[in-house]
Amino acid sequence: MSIRPVTITGEPVLHRRAAEVESFDDALRTLVEDMYETMDAAHGVGLAAPQVGVGLRLYTYHFANEDGAPERGVVINPALTLSKVSGAEPDPDEETEGCLSVPGLSYPLKRAEWVRVRGFDVDGKPLDFEATGWFARVMQHEYDHLDGKLYVDRLNDRWGKRARKQIKKEGWGVPGLTWLPGTDPDPFGH
């Protein structure tokens, strides 16, 4: 197992649809173990393969929930069914997200309060569970990475403008930028 560098917005793999996983083999198991180790070192609640430079449709997560789903897991080739997303303004105190690929920044975003997650585990066995509240948010956030979207791409005009300005100020939005959890300073101050 090894900690992998986390790609920063602007890296092409983050901005295109990831490919379906076709082989449930030792290479996949190694990738998943590396993703767990990287996610843990970054103090993340989720990590999608494109965030470590791999354009495949899978993500890991670690989030205590009351939905009966495992607290820690991997979802491969996921399909999500969502409840309706409210059109109300997001609450900056209750609905603010961050992302390891937009390190250190956080912005409010409305998400669906419920999702059904279907996919496969690392051995190719089917998964099917529901997620609510923040656990649902984590599932949507990680799934978006597999379609080439970052949470900042979904922000409303007010918050999106602020995010774009800050990303430009940080010098991001270009290929080749990464940070290494456990070595580089923690951008979220954990």
Over residues 111-128, mean pLDDT:
98
Over residues 110-135, mean pLDDT:
98
pLDDT in the model for residue 126: 98
Strands 46-48 and 96-99 come out as unpaired
pLDDT in the model for residue 13: 98
pLDDT of 1 higher than 90 = no
What's the pTM?
Answer: 0.97
Over residues 132-147, mean pLDDT:
98
Over residues 17-44, mean pLDDT:
98
pLDDT of 133 higher than 90 = yes
Q: Categorize the per-residue pLDDT at 100 as very low, low, confident or very high, splitting at 50, 70 and 90.
A: very high
Share of the chain above pLDDT 70, in %: 100
Is 142 noted as a catalytic residue in this protein? yes
pLDDT in the model for residue 51: 98
Average predicted confidence (pLDDT) for the chain: 97
> Which of 71, 113, 142, 170 is labelled catalytic?
142
Which residue from 174, 155, 62 is spatially nearest to 105, judged by alpha carbons?
A: 155
Over residues 30-50, mean pLDDT:
98
Over residues 95-118, mean pLDDT:
98
pLDDT of 189 higher than 90 = no
Going through 38-172 in order, the beta strands assigned E by DSSP cover: 46-48, 58-62, 72-82, 96-99, 102-108, 114-120, 126-132
pLDDT of 179 higher than 90 = yes
Compute CA distances 139 → 10, 24, 56, 127, 174, whole Å.
22, 21, 16, 13, 26
* Spatial distance between the Cα atoms of 95 and 66, rounded to a whole number of angstroms: 19
pLDDT in tens, 82-98: 999 999 999 999 999 99
pLDDT in tens, 167-176: 999 999 999 9
